Amino acid sequence: MSTASARPIDPLVQQLVSTIGNRFAVQGEFMLGEEIDSGHINSTYRATYRLPNGGEQRYIFQAINRNVFKDPYAVMNNVERVTRHINSRVLRLKKDLGGQTLNLFPARAGGSWIEDEQGSVWRCYNHIEGCVTYDVVENTRQAYQAARAFGSFQDLVSDLDSAAITETIPDFHHTRKRFARLMEVAAADPQGRLDSVRKEFEFIRSREPLVGILLDLVDAGKIPLRVTHNDTKINNVMIDAASDEAVCVIDLDTVMPGLALYDFGDLVRSATSPAAEDETDLSKVEMQMPMFEALVEGYLDAAGDFINDTEIEHLAHAGKLMTLEVGIRFLTDHLEGDVYFKIHRPGHNLDRCRTQLQLVECIESREDEMNAFVRKVRRSKR
Together in a domain, 27 and 80: yes
- Give me the pLDDT at residue 342, please: 82
Same domain, 228 and 263: yes
Say if residues 247 and 150 touch (Cβ distance below 8 Å).
Answer: no
Q: What is the pLDDT of residue 92?
A: 67
Residue where a domain terminates, one of 75, 98, 127? 127
Residue 326 falls within a domain, yes or no?
yes
Quick one: 94 and 164 in the same domain?
A: no
Q: Is residue 5 part of a domain?
A: no
Do 88 and 149 have their domain in common? no
Can you tell me the distance from the alpha carbon of 95 to that of 108, in angstroms, rounded to the nearest whole number? 31
Pick from 179, 255, 267: which is nearest to 215 by CA?
Answer: 179
pLDDT of res. 140: 94
Q: What is the pLDDT of residue 5?
A: 53
Q: Are residues 194 and 98 in the same domain?
A: no
Q: What is the pLDDT of residue 19?
A: 94
Q: What pairs with residue 248 in β-bridges?
A: 238
Taking the C-alpha atoms of residue 203 and residue 171, their distance in angstroms, rounded to an integer, is 23
In the DSSP assignment, the letter for residue 107 is B
Residue 98 pLDDT: 43
Q: Give CA–CA dist 79/211, Å, rounded.
A: 29
**Letter for the amino acid at 12?**
L
Phi, psi of 328 (to 5 degrees): -60, -45
- From 95, 127, 159, the end of a domain falls on 127
Residue 256 lies in a domain: yes
pLDDT at 162: 86
What secondary structure letter does DSSP report for 56?
Answer: E
pLDDT tens track for 144-174? 999 999 999 999 999 998 888 999 888 889 9
The DSSP code sequence of 182-218 is HHHHHHH-TTS-GGGGHHHHHHHHTTGGGGGHHHHHH
pLDDT at 161: 87
**Same domain, yes or no, for 112 and 162?**
no
331 shares a domain with 203: yes
Give the 3-state secondary structure of residue 321: helix
204 and 71 fall within a common domain: no
Total tally of structural domains belonging to the chain = 2
- Across the beta sheet with 246-249, what order do the strands follow? 131-132, 237-240, 246-249
Asked whether the beta carbons of 334 and 345 are under 8 A apart, the reply is no
Instruction: Yes or no: say if 240 and 168 are a contact pair by the CB < 8 Å rule.
Output: no
Per-residue pLDDT tens digits of the chain, which is 382 residues long:
444 555 556 788 889 999 999 999 999 999 999 888 655 567 889 999 999 999 999 999 999 988 778 899 999 999 999 999 988 887 666 544 445 678 899 999 999 999 998 889 999 999 988 888 887 888 999 999 999 999 999 999 999 988 889 998 888 899 999 999 999 999 999 999 999 999 999 999 999 999 999 999 999 999 999 999 998 988 889 888 888 888 889 889 999 999 999 999 999 999 999 998 999 999 999 999 999 999 999 999 999 789 999 999 999 999 999 999 999 999 999 999 998 888 899 999 999 999 999 999 999 999 999 999 999 999 887 6
Classify residue 67: in a domain, yes or no: yes
Question: What range defines the domain where residue 194 resides?
Answer: 140-380
Domain end marker among 106, 127, 148: 127
* Residue 346 one-letter amino acid: P
Beta carbons of 350 and 273 less than 8 angstroms apart: no
Residues 40, 170 within the same domain = no
Claim to verify: residue 332 and residue 197 sit in the same structural domain: yes
Q: How big is the chain, counted in residues?
A: 382
Asked, for residue 118, whether it belongs to a domain, the answer is yes
Q: Are residues 194 and 100 in the same domain?
A: no
Q: What is the pLDDT of residues 180-204, one digit of tens each?
A: 999 999 999 999 999 999 999 999 9
Contact status, residue 91 vs residue 97, Cβ threshold 8 Å: no
Query: 256 forms bridges with which residues in the sheet?
Result: 228
Specify the pLDDT at position 223.
Answer: 96
The predicted pLDDT at position 97 comes to 44
Q: What pLDDT was estimated at residue 43?
A: 83
pTM score: 0.86
CATH of the domain at 115: 3.30.200.20
- Considering the domain boundaries, does residue 6 fall inside one? no
Q: Are residues 329 and 201 in the same domain?
A: yes
**Residue 252's domain is classified under what CATH number?**
3.90.1200.10
